[in-house]
Structure 1
Amino acid sequence: MFIGLDAEFGLTNSTSAQSIQLGIETAITEINAKGGVLNGRSLELIITDNRSMPARGIHNLQKLAATADLVAVFSGRFSPVVLETLPTLAKTQLINLAPWSSADGITENDFRPSYSFRLSLKDRYAMPVMLRYAAKKGAKKIGLLLTNTSWGRSNLNSAQRYLATTDKLLSVGTAWYNWQDDSLLKEYQVLLRAGAEAIILVANDDEGAALVSEVAELPAEQRLPIISHWGVTGGNFIAQLARREALDHIDFSVVQTFSFFNLVPARIEQLMKTVLQISTITDVRDIEAPVGFGHAYDLTFILARAIDMAGSTDRRVIRDKLELVTDYDGLVRFYAQPFTADNHDALSVEDVFMARYTADGLIRPISMMTN
């Protein structure tokens, strides 16, 4: 029995797809060791590379949908890819499990029944947490620095919804940049001149590293706090900085939903025994893009529960059973009922927190840091 993963493996410096893969394979190894699903059938992973291109993602899903005994496909980091594949999912009755992409439309759409399920951050949840954090830091005026994609527009909508409910924050404007631009300084300075006291950044690792590198070279009074969406954590962000010390000169934080720092040592020890069986990783701190791992691991176990409840590999039945899974104690949280007929998002705003990069490149919850 097969599970698919279509993600951005061919994208330079990306670590998100590899982290998702490791999370799935760790869960599969544990599930198979306990007898698999459907009274003894093993799960296997099939991988395809969309290179972050929607057209390639659609092509890959069409091929995966025709694979016998393939029950579901995990998607990767990029919301624009997942959003473009939604019609294909509906047409082929292929279940999409999203462990990273955060655009609201991935689960908030008009497809009925919807075959898209997410255990991940959602822009509707991320923006309020990021904006409240800006206010907590004393900012009253914020600037939005967004990627000119469906992901960026999703975040603009989420920011506008939240700002309409509060008089504590005012947006001085929105600056747009194009995907994979190698400089965001011009857009940053537009917001700075407009009076922004903090920047809300929606970017991936390469663009985020470019901005941090540029801002670190500005005079201290021009270096605003940068509160970032988590796209920066999906690749080798630290390695792409012009100088590793750049983060020492900037107040840079990033939104997250999972951290290995939140797990008890016994859970980490048990997890790493499996990870070591299937990879060369010996320390949990060496698992890059940790949210991808944690989300994919939990989603795989929830899928296995749904398969057993369905009693077959019929994707339509498994889709229905995903809405009925209950009481799973995962890495990210305990799920009383991860999905329902009315809600295909397993996480909530209460699962979202702010984090920082440590000196050794780890992502640590701010609540656990002493300074």
Structure 2
Amino acid sequence: MPHSTGPSRALSRRAFHGSLLGLAALPWAAHAASGKPVLLGIDAEFGLQNSTSAQAIELGVRIAVDQINSAGGVLGGRPLEIVTKDHRSIAARGIRNIEEFAAMPDLVAVMGGRFSPVVIEQLPILKQSNIPFLAVWSAADVIVDNGSKPNYAFRLSLRDSLAMPFMMEQASKRGIQRVGLLLTNTAWGRSNRAAVDKYSAAHKLPKVVGTTWYNWQERSLIDKYNKLLEADAQAVLLVANDDEAATLVKEMAALPKDKRLPVLSHWGVTGGRLFKEAGAALKEVDFSVVQTFSFFRARPAVLEPFMATARKLGVQRIEDIESPVGVAHAYDMTHILAKAIQLAGTTDRAAIRDALEKVKLHDGLVKRYAPPFTPTRHEALGHDELLMARYREDGVIMPVQT
């Protein structure tokens, strides 16, 4: 059974009972793995109230690990085993977690969670420890563009320099000429501001007419929103997580209809229970969010074996999957890591880092990666994967037809 040093609410919510039997997904063995485990760490915000992102990442990893181990594991029969640690969105905890991961023999990589500010604070200890860091949610550019040579950070996720230009493009397609930015006063917010500035230098529209900043856990955002309204913004580009977004949505819903601007949101809001937190107010606001993936658009040839294993872990329908991008990214990244371990032929972290740059092909849920990474590109996703989505009446995140 996998180690766990932090809470794992995804497992309690879903019926993970009995042994995990999965599908034969990898070609190098035909029997279940039973040797000495190879460890994969997950460091994420498991204990953060109302958060679903860490649990989504763990679910994606567990589905992939079940398939890999059922097919014989790695390195001639060694199973992958998961070790979870909870940083609760607190950087100091995250740094301590990386130190503890680094001391574990046979731990080959750490997969990170949603919060870019935590990951940014972890970068020095990650560099010192030479642990391959697999970013499957955090979007700040500097996580991968960190200046390290060799670079141990690999991302299969959105990045801010893709997200904000895409949101600006989507606003323009809707005929919006003036936008206001409502940003979190963190490294993540500043990363997004830099991405908008770069986009605006090359495009006349939409024009940014104002920027307001809020601090984490502020109880009201309406004064920041009203400043953008007074600046004559026609829409708001929001960089927030679910709790702040829910606060904003409820405050906007209380305004007259002609004062409720469309909101185009970064995807941090889908890492928690925005639909539940915002309640009926969400129906009163034009709210859309950028995503990299939707299970409703997944290719059947990849989705069907994924769901066959997911059902054994208690997930019966794609509509039951919370924070879907986290699940899909972690699932694909785990399979890519397994291929890199095979290429390396060892649990040596430096060898696995090098091998991640040499995996030639993976046919994943999100896309066909050919290749996932190269020595000069540690970003697996690009503009072509981006889409806008909305919350359906039952809270399911659905892609928007554009």
TM-score, reference length from structure 1: 0.97
1:93-139 CA distances to partner (integer Å, 9 max, x unpaired)? Answer: 11110100000001111111111110000000001110011111111
Aligned equivalents of 2:190, 2:139: Cα separation in 1? 12
Aligned equivalents of 1:56, 1:146: Cα separation in 2? 25
Aligned equivalents of 2:110, 2:121: Cα separation in 1? 15
Question: Residue 174 of structure 1: CA displacement?
Answer: 0.7
Unaligned 5+ segments in structure 2 are 1-37
1:23-79 CA distances to partner (integer Å, 9 max, x unpaired)? Answer: 001000000111111111100000000000111101000001110100000000000
Aligned counterpart in structure 2 of residue 262 of structure 1, from 277, 297, 311: 297
* Kept after mapping to 2: 8 A contact 1:268/1:284: no
SS at match of 1:324: coil
Tell whether 2:309 aligns with 1:309.
Answer: no
Structure-2 residue corresponding to 1:335: 369
Aligned equivalents of 2:208, 2:302: Cα separation in 1? 42
Q: Which stretches of structure 1, 4 residues or more, deviate above 3 A after TM superposition? A: 264-269
SS at match of 1:367: coil
Structure-2 residue corresponding to 1:199: 236
Number of equivalences: 365
Matches within 5 A, 1:76-95: 76-95=113-132
Structure-2 residue corresponding to 1:138: 175
Letter in 2 for 1:320: D
SS at match of 1:4: strand
Question: Residue 265 of structure 1: CA displacement?
Answer: 4.4
Structure-2 residue corresponding to 1:245: 280
Structure-1 residue corresponding to 2:7: none
Matches within 5 A, 1:292-307: 292-307=326-341
SS at match of 1:164: helix
Letter in 1 for 2:322: E
TM-score, reference length from structure 2: 0.89
Matches within 5 A, 1:65-104: 65-104=102-141
1:157-201 CA distances to partner (integer Å, 9 max, x unpaired)? Answer: 001100111112111111000012121111000000011000000
Bigger shift: residues 265-274 or 231-240 = 265-274
Question: Residue 273 of structure 1: CA displacement?
Answer: 2.0
Aligned counterpart in structure 2 of residue 357 of structure 1, from 367, 383, 391: 391
Letter in 2 for 1:200: L
1:366–1:339 distance in 2 versus 1, CA, 3 Å: same
Identity of aligned residues (%): 54
Tell whether 2:147 aligns with 1:110.
Answer: yes
Aligned equivalents of 2:221, 2:174: Cα separation in 1? 23
Q: Superposition RMSD on alpha carbons, in Å?
A: 1.0
Aligned equivalents of 2:249, 2:378: Cα separation in 1? 35
Tell whether 2:67 aligns with 1:30.
Answer: yes
Structure-2 residue corresponding to 1:16: 53
Aligned equivalents of 2:210, 2:168: Cα separation in 1? 14
SS at match of 1:25: helix
SS at match of 1:146: strand
Tell whether 2:223 aligns with 1:186.
Answer: yes
Tell whether 2:202 aligns with 1:165.
Answer: yes
SS at match of 1:143: strand
